[in-house]
Structure 1
């Protein structure tokens, strides 16, 4: 029961934070104070401040600083050296992400043509620090991680089946719950290995591998990624590949922004992208 309550609380925490951020953006010129933000989230000042500290590790005021466009521009400039070092080090078959060791396995061209025919995909819905998510796995690893949109779970499932139209899907929440715990619960200094099994063209795979090299707390522009994969003129194709990333957070497409500092779109909502970037900035700072 405690585990269930903890999961429920995390989902509610994110919803309240998201509401507060949306309220802040709508009233940004007035710079609402803590009392007003707490009221927008349906909490007392004390509980709202404590919620933010527990979830983000920093105060609401500091968190708001990470949401500004000016911060995004500075972060893009400061990230260049981190990105250079990460790419120079090479991926070597795996990428570091938070406390996870991510192993990347692309489907074969033949598997891609078959659209998942003969494959069994197990899925489940689970709370996360960033809202409810849908996790789907094959025998080779996680093939999909998406956040549930406002339209609900049916819309999230439709995205999964669109990626693997001929695969057999079955609900297996117990199986995926163990994976959710590994993804969203920090271990005792351990770095669990996570296998990804994703469908994509050769170009998309190349872009997604590049995303795995962007360090937490850093960002890259679409132009940066295009240059890094030796396709400097393919900026639009890079943006398209980023938009079709099937694995939220683990392949960190949220760390790609426009060279102007504007965040650009995000498959799982622009507010969530802001929250992810600000959350990572808070953890790294």
Structure 2
């Protein structure tokens, strides 16, 4: 079996990212295979093989997952009742779309100190969903942000503001293995989270939603024992500093609408479509 070189991986992440962005931007027009292949500069046959290899389904099938009706279909057919699945503590490993995520919460003192004394490495990486900003300590990843919609400067400022007193170091090599595990959807990835007690509970509940499935803000509120706190839950979901790995994109409104997404709704649609494709391929 052919094993990709680092340069091929870098190229393919960018190419698939461009293809997904093009399909999403033209979803109403339903572009055909030739249109999408032309947009990324490949022959239709080559593009079909590459896209199916990375996403798991054909470009045409992926288009169907990007429609607004897909969110309502997810709620009807793949709704997660979290109260029956939230049975493990913070120290337990959670399985997330073929990725073993081991996570821990920072201490209350670290939270209150605003990251004082923390040394946080950061760097930008390619992903199928656009530029990905990663931040992490020696203990694990503490921040992941997508910059395609909000821009690199805004994404960096957003994550830095979570730990205003930390020392930041541009050192992507310190994070590369964890990011590769996350993007490759295999291996192990350590997370270290800092947040209020409510936020930690909400983020733990998000980890219990299987890939390719969704839940609602009100369901999360019930699962964490605060059934009247749906609005506060929505705020905590939006404050999740680790996109993709802690899957806030899997939280929808009860109406079937996507709701908000901190890093941009096109990214949320792409994430949900990607996961549906991977689930179908399995």
- One fold, TM greater than 0.5? yes
Aligned with 1:271 (options 266, 269, 275): 266
Offset, 1:244: 0.6
Aligned 1:62-211 pairs, distance under 5 A: 62-80=61-79, 83=82, 85-87=84-86, 89-91=87-89, 93-150=92-149, 152-187=151-186, 191-192=187-188, 194-211=189-206
Aligned with 1:234 (options 229, 233, 237): 229
Q: Within 1, Cα distance between the matches of 2:79 and 2:129?
A: 27
Residue of structure 2 in register with 1:16 after alignment:
19
With the length of structure 1 as denominator, give the TM-score of the two structures. Answer: 0.88
Q: Within 1, Cα distance between the matches of 2:98 and 2:40?
A: 30
Q: Within 2, Cα distance between the matches of 1:35 and 1:82?
A: 41
Given that 2:22 and 2:36 are in contact with CA atoms closer than 8 Å, whether structure 1 keeps it comes out as no
Q: Within 2, Cα distance between the matches of 1:139 and 1:32?
A: 45
Deviation by residue 1:142-199 (Cα, 9 ceiling, x = unmatched) = 1111112445433322122111111000011211112222222355xxx42x221122
Residue of structure 1 in register with 2:6 after alignment:
3
With the length of structure 2 as denominator, give the TM-score of the two structures. Answer: 0.89
Do residues 252 (structure 1) and 239 (structure 2) align? no
Q: Secondary structure at the match of 1:170?
A: strand
Deviation by residue 1:248-276 (Cα, 9 ceiling, x = unmatched) = 11100010111111111111111111111
Deviation by residue 1:51-91 (Cα, 9 ceiling, x = unmatched) = 4212211012211222223322221122236646533x545
Deviation by residue 1:84-109 (Cα, 9 ceiling, x = unmatched) = 6533x545623210222222211222
Given that 1:117 and 1:166 are in contact with CA atoms closer than 8 Å, whether structure 2 keeps it comes out as yes
Given that 2:178 and 2:190 are in contact with CA atoms closer than 8 Å, whether structure 1 keeps it comes out as no
Uncovered stretches (5+) of structure 1, i.e. residues with no partner: none
Q: Secondary structure at the match of 1:184?
A: helix
Given that 1:220 and 1:255 are in contact with CA atoms closer than 8 Å, whether structure 2 keeps it comes out as yes
CA RMSD of superposed structures (Å): 2.2
Q: Within 2, Cα distance between the matches of 1:40 and 1:127?
A: 19
Deviation by residue 1:100-150 (Cα, 9 ceiling, x = unmatched) = 222221122221121111111111211123222111111221111111244
Mark the CA change 1:136 to 1:195 in structure 2 (over 3 Å): closer, same or farther. same
Q: Within 2, Cα distance between the matches of 1:137 and 1:90?
A: 24
Mark the CA change 1:196 to 1:60 in structure 2 (over 3 Å): closer, same or farther. same
Q: Secondary structure at the match of 2:136?
A: strand
Uncovered stretches (5+) of structure 2, i.e. residues with no partner: none
Do residues 218 (structure 1) and 213 (structure 2) align? yes
Q: Within 2, Cα distance between the matches of 1:91 and 1:97?
A: 15
Given that 2:82 and 2:223 are in contact with CA atoms closer than 8 Å, whether structure 1 keeps it comes out as no
Given that 2:96 and 2:211 are in contact with CA atoms closer than 8 Å, whether structure 1 keeps it comes out as yes
Deviation by residue 1:7-62 (Cα, 9 ceiling, x = unmatched) = 133123212321221122xxx1x544333444455544334423421221101221
